[in-house]
């Protein structure tokens, strides 16, 4: 069943360093998803370990923790129908070599370790990950502001 969902997305440090932030955000916006929170931040050790807790003990874990803290990330909350799976569809497989051409990872990354973007893998992961990076007060869903202003202006 399709439902309105929110998901946690991040342009990882390699994507920020390579100035792909706009390109990546554009794909989510042109798909029709809403960005309801957005910020650039330096990931702390605590945030990195909380985010990737499920991977602790895996051979790539230490490298992953170092990677995600190697420079600022751009963190987002993205909303829309089926947004969790939909964002992962746009991102492509973890390994850019296996990702379909046209997806973010196929188009912008070369190796699995440094794959430019993160997206939550379930609604539950999304809620957990959003809490690591955002306070609920930083998430906005007010899209009528401009039309209200225009109406007010035209009616004046
Ligand atoms: N990763 C890695 N080597 C691996 C698997 C994963 O370096 O063999 C890194 C990669 O950056 C990936 C992240 O760890 O995006 C999280 O892995 P996960 O399996 O959750 O992939 P994702 O959900 O990001 O597609
Ligand atoms: Mg994952």
Q: Which residues are catalytic?
A: 118
Model pLDDT, residue 126: 98
**144: pLDDT strictly greater than 70:** no
What spacing in Å lies between the alpha carbon of 33 and ligand 1's midpoint? Answer: 24
CA distance 156 to 62: 60
- Residues ≥6 apart with Cβ < 8 Å to 79: 4, 5, 6, 7, 33, 34, 35, 36, 141
Residue 98: phi, psi to the nearest 5? Answer: -100, -15
**pLDDT digits 0-9 by tens, 43-96:** 999 999 999 999 999 999 999 999 999 999 999 999 999 999 999 999 999 999
Residue 121: phi, psi to the nearest 5? Answer: -100, -5
Measured from the CB, is residue 12 less than 6 Å from ligand 1? no
Among the bound ligands, the one closest to the CA of 61: 1
Give the ligand 1 atom nearest the CA of 12.
11
The structure tokens 């916006």 sit at 29
Structure confidence at residue 150 as a pLDDT band (50, 70, 90): confident
**pLDDT digits 0-9 by tens, 82-133:** 999 999 999 999 999 999 999 999 999 999 999 999 999 999 999 999 999 9
Structure confidence at residue 3 as a pLDDT band (50, 70, 90): confident
**pTM, entire model:** 0.94
């Amino acid at each position: 069943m399709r439902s309105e969902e929110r998901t946690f997305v991040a342009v990882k440090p390699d994507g920020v360093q390579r100035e792909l932030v706009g390109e990546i955000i554009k794909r989510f916006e042109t798909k029709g998803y809403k960005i309801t929170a957005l910020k650039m931040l330096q990931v702390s050790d605590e945030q990195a370990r909380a985010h990737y807790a499920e991977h602790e003990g895996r051979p790539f874990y230490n490298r992953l923790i170092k990677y995600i803290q190697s420079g600022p990330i751009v963190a987002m909350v993205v909303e829309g129908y089926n947004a969790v799976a939909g964002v992962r569809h746009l991102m492509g497989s973890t390994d850019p070599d296996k990702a379909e051409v046209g997806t973010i990872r196929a188009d912008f990354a070369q190796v699995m370790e440094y794959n430019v973007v993160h997206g939550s893998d379930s609604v539950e992961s999304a809620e957990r990950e959003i809490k690591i990076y955002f306070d609920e007060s930083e998430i906005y869903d007010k899209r009528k502001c401009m039309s209200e202003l225009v109406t007010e202006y035209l009616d004046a």
